[in-house]
């Protein structure tokens, strides 16, 4: 699969497929990497080092800060795959790289491709937006 | 990179205005790429949300900008920070956390931003963009309000991008900055079984916003069939819709500037979806906002939080009037959030005095769901805000009960959860 690059990079991790979009602000504890949104069906999931798969970033414009703080603490996901391009998350990833030198690729995939990713699938992302299984 | 730059933009990127401006331009270009813009356009104002402390990263970023000599190029207002700088005694957290929050707020002032510290900059007459004005606004409720209620133009800018646009004075020429993206593709109507009493009650509008956000996701929706909706009620829709969905714009036929008619809101096209919301669906959405509280009618409550987004002068007056001279019940905390700008308005003076006499606390510069501001209580906290109800359980562990302003105030006065059965029916 190939996605549109919102922020380029390489990553490896098991897919964490969110059944609903997640706003990282109010949704992710950047100290622990735990999903804390009380309204989200997957509350309690740990995002750290997973390839986060969700349709969109939803809601708050503070999500970029939470992503950068999670990058700083080391609790961030390994990569983020979306079907809706999200500049809030792309810019968060870019600032994370500027400040802390760790790149978290953010890609927008075709909705059908995204829906085909099963939770837990090991994924490898290479520069230019390639997504490989295994 | 496919974005065409003019000479000045290229110079900024090359660092001729300093390393801070160059970093800002790199971020604006990344946003432009994400939005597939072909060029940048100038803006006249910005509203920046990055001044709220989310961790060391927040300070590290602004320090990088300050070290690089950055300064804002357009008039820029600031969103809420961690604490109320005018009433610092209301902060219940650690002195270290307060110092971190304060330092970040002051760092953004040092970039040249106005210390407005409000999520409702549209209530400040000199910060309100005119219809058609191109701006860069952050803070989800303000973004929706800017596009929908003012008819000014912003995309959904977030932390870092907001200040990057303010420093460069540029935004990507994309999305809601352009005509094409501003037309509705979804029509939402209230079903005939939604009674007139509810349509005239403040409690409807946050719930409608929650439903709108969930229905629309990121699509532009037009609400048809409502009577004229006031600016404060539109604000309540904005905040709730941006909590439950990625909404950046909606229309209300006859109430918002780009929707004089349904056809105008749709840009003359056939909608992709038409959705009707029944009374039962509204009740379910209202109840879901309180579901985690486990509270029942008549239960003792611990606190009431109003003013999210920040109360306007008219709302302060309405809250004071609703108190009818009563005092807040002993043991209940009534906290009303507004901005320092509104607090200084002549129209707000008398309502604020009356609220304080009744035992209410007035909070500015921040919001009560961002940190340790409310007195800790094992009892439920009531709010009239869909956004507060949505985020407070996760953020501060509050047991939230959503109610209309009237329900909140009557509950604050009696100390017991009260519902207006005449409005929502007996279910």
Q: What is the DSSP letter of A46?
A: B
Residues contacting residue B155 through CB under 8 Å, at least 6 positions apart: A87, B31, B35, B136, B143, B171, B172, B174, B175, B176, B177, B248
Give the count of beta carbons closer than 10 Å to the beta carbon of residue B102.
17
Asked if B161 has any chain A CB less than 8 Å from its own CB, the reply is yes
Strand partners, A4: A108
Rounded to the nearest angstrom, the minimum Cα separation between B84 and chain A is 19
DSSP per position, B111-159: TT-B----S-GGGSGGG-PPTT-BEEE-SHHHHHHIIIII--B-----T
Average pLDDT, chain B: 96
User: How many whole angstroms separate alpha carbon A125 and alpha carbon B296?
Assistant: 50
Between the CA of residue A23 and those of A54, A62, B32, B342, what are the distances in Å? 11, 9, 21, 29
* B231-244 vs B204-216: helix crossing angle, rounded to 10: 40
CB-CB neighbors (< 8 A) of B33 in chain A: 6
Of the candidates B232, B229, B282, B275, which has an alpha carbon nearest to the alpha carbon of residue B251?
B229
pLDDT score recorded for residue A60: 67
User: How many whole angstroms separate alpha carbon B53 and alpha carbon B41?
Assistant: 29
Using CB atoms, pick whichever of B26, B54, B217 lies closest to residue A69: B54
What's the pLDDT tens digit per position in B41-99?
A: 999 999 999 999 999 999 999 999 999 999 999 999 999 999 999 999 999 999 999 99
CB contact under 8 A, B244 and A6: no
- Residues B15 and B168: beta-carbon distance below 8 Å: no
Locus of tokens 């989200």: A40
**CB-neighbour burial class of residue B296 (10 A; exposed 0-12, middle 13-18, buried 19+):** exposed
B106 HSE (CA, 13 A, CB side): 7
CB contact under 8 A, A65 and B55: yes
Residues contacting residue B99 through CB under 8 Å, at least 6 positions apart: none
The structure tokens listed for A40 are: 């989200």
Asked if A86 has any chain B CB less than 8 Å from its own CB, the reply is yes
Determine whether A60 is an active site residue: yes
Rounded to the nearest angstrom, the minimum Cα separation between A51 and chain B is 20
Confidence (pTM)? 0.94
Between the CA of residue B416 and those of B295, B330, B412, what are the distances in Å? 10, 11, 7
Asked if B92 has any chain A CB less than 8 Å from its own CB, the reply is no
The distance from CA B57 to its chain's CA centroid, rounded to whole angstroms, is: 23
What's the pLDDT tens digit per position in B293-328?
A: 999 999 999 999 999 999 999 999 999 999 999 999
Tens of pLDDT along chain A (134 residues)? 999 999 999 999 999 999 998 989 889 999 999 999 888 999 999 999 999 999 887 656 789 999 999 999 999 999 999 998 888 899 999 999 999 999 999 999 999 999 999 999 999 999 999 999 98
Asked if B58 has any chain A CB less than 8 Å from its own CB, the reply is yes
Residue B177 has pLDDT above 90, yes or no: yes
Label the pairing between strands B333-338 and B361-363. parallel
Model confidence at B1, pLDDT cuts 50, 70, 90, reads low
**Segment 298-357 of chain B within 8 Å of chain A by CB:** none
Asked if B281 has any chain A CB less than 8 Å from its own CB, the reply is no
Q: Which residue has the higher pLDDT, B424 or B279?
A: B279
Asked if A20 has any chain B CB less than 8 Å from its own CB, the reply is no
Of the candidates B315, B298, B127, which has an alpha carbon nearest to the alpha carbon of residue B230?
B315
User: How many whole angstroms separate alpha carbon B389 and alpha carbon A111?
Assistant: 31
CB contact under 8 A, B54 and A66: yes
What does R_g of chain B's alpha carbons equal in angstroms? 22
Q: Which residue of B has its CA nearest to A58?
A: B246
CB-CB neighbors (< 8 A) of B35 in chain A: 85, 87
What's the pLDDT tens digit per position in B241-297?
A: 998 888 999 999 999 999 999 999 999 999 999 999 999 999 999 999 999 899 999
The structure tokens listed for B117 are: 């510290």
- Residues B23 and B68: beta-carbon distance below 8 Å: yes
Q: Which of A23, A55, A60, A75 is catalytic?
A: A60
CB contact under 8 A, B243 and A59: yes
CB contact under 8 A, B218 and A84: yes
Asked if A102 has any chain B CB less than 8 Å from its own CB, the reply is no
Residue B426 has pLDDT above 70, yes or no: no
CB contact under 8 A, B245 and A25: no
Residue B233 has pLDDT above 90, yes or no: yes
Q: Is the peptide bond before A35 cis (omega within 30 degrees of 0)?
A: no
Asked if A50 has any chain B CB less than 8 Å from its own CB, the reply is no
CB contact under 8 A, B27 and A95: yes
CB-CB neighbors (< 8 A) of A88 in chain B: 156-159, 161
Q: Which residue of A has its CA nearest to B29?
A: A91
User: How many whole angstroms separate alpha carbon B17 and alpha carbon B23?
Assistant: 10
Cα three-residue angle B172-B174-B179, rounded to 5 degrees: 135
User: How many whole angstroms separate alpha carbon B182 and alpha carbon B404?
Assistant: 31
Residues contacting residue B14 through CB under 8 Å, at least 6 positions apart: B22
């Amino acid at each position: 699969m190939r996605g549109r690059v919102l922020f380029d990079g390489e990553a490896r991790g098991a897919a964490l497929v969110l059944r609903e979009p997640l706003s990282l602000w109010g949704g992710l504890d950047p100290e622990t990497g735990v999903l804390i949104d009380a309204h989200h069906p997957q509350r309690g999931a740990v995002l750290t080092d997973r390839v986060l798969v969700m349709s969109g970033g939803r809601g708050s414009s503070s999500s970029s800060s939470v992503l950068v703080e999670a990058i700083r603490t080391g609790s961030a996901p390994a990569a983020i795959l979306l079907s809706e391009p999200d500049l809030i998350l792309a810019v968060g990833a870019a600032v994370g790289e500027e400040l802390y030198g760790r790149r978290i690729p953010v890609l927008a995939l075709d909705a059908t491709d995204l829906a085909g990713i099963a939770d837990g699938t090991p994924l490898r992302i290479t520069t230019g937006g390639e997504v490989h299984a295994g | 990179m496919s974005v065409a730059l003019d000479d000045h933009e290229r110079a900024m990127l090359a660092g001729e205005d300093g390393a801070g401006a160059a970093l800002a331009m790199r971020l604006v270009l990344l946003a432009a790429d994400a939005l597939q813009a072909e060029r940048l356009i100038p803006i006249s104002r910005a509203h920046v949300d990055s001044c709220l402390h989310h961790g060391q990263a927040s300070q590290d970023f602004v320090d990088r900008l300050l070290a690089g000599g950055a300064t804002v190029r357009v008039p820029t207002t600031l969103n809420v920070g961690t604490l109320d700088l005018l009433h610092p005694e209301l902060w219940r957290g650690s002195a270290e956390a307060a110092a971190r929050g304060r330092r970040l707020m002051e760092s953004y002032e040092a970039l040249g931003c106005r210390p407005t510290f409000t999520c409702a900059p549209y209530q400040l007459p000199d910060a309100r963009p005119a219809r058609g004005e191109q701006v860069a606004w952050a803070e989800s409720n303000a973004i929706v309000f800017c596009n929908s209620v003012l008819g000014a133009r912003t995309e959904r800018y977030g932390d870092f991008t907001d200040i990057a646009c303010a420093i460069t004075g540029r935004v990507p020429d994309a999305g809601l900055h352009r005509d094409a993206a501003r037309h509705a593709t979804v029509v939402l109507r209230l079903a005939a079984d939604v009674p007139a009493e509810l349509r005239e009650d403040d409690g409807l509008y946050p719930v409608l916003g929650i439903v709108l956000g969930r229905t629309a996701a990121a699509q532009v929706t037009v609400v048809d069939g409502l009577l004229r909706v006031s600016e404060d009620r539109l604000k309540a829709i904005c905040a709730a819709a941006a909590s439950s969905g990625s909404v950046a714009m909606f229309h209300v036929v006859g109430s918002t500037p780009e929707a004089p008619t349904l056809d105008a809101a749709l840009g003359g096209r056939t909608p992709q979806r038409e959705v009707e919301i029944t009374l039962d669906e509204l009740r379910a959405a209202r109840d879901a906002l309180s579901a985690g509280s486990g509270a029942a009618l008549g239960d003792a409550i611990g606190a009431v939080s109003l003013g999210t987004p920040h109360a306007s002068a008219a709302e302060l007056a309405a809250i004071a009037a609703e108190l009818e001279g009563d005092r807040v019940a002993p043991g209940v905390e009534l906290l009303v959030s507004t901005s320092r700008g509104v607090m200084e308005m002549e129209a707000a003076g008398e309502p604020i005095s009356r609220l304080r006499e009744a035992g209410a606390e007035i909070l500015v510069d921040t919001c009560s769901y961002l940190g340790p501001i409310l007195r800790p209580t094992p009892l439920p906290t009531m709010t009239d805000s869909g956004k507060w109800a949505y985020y407070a359980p996760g953020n501060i562990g509050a047991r939230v009960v959503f109610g209309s302003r009237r329900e909140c105030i009557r509950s604050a006065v009696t100390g017991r959860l009260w519902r207006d059965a005449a409005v929502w029916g007996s279910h």
